[in-house]
Amino acid sequence: MIVKIVGPCIRLLRIIDSDKKPTLGYVYGGMHRAQKAIKENFKNKKRVYRPYTQIVKDKWDKQL
């Protein structure tokens, strides 16, 4: 279960941490793709993925 949640986030963090500095639009799009991947990993069962995607969304909103 942890890999299903953290895997997409780790992929995004690896891209953000590269020597090339991605634009904010790319980072925002990456967050959207990470949330979508988490949903797909849980077979789009909202009751299961919702708590985790909400955490990602809340943290992201606080950063902006």
Q: Could you read off the pLDDT of 10-59 as tens digits, one per residue?
A: 988 888 887 777 677 788 888 889 889 999 999 999 999 999 888 878 87
DSSP H helical segments within 1-64, as ranges? 2-16, 24-41, 46-63
pLDDT confidence of residue 22: 67
Handedness of CA 62, 32, 28, 6 (dihedral sign): positive
User: What residue segments make up the domains of the chain, in order of their start?
Assistant: 2-63
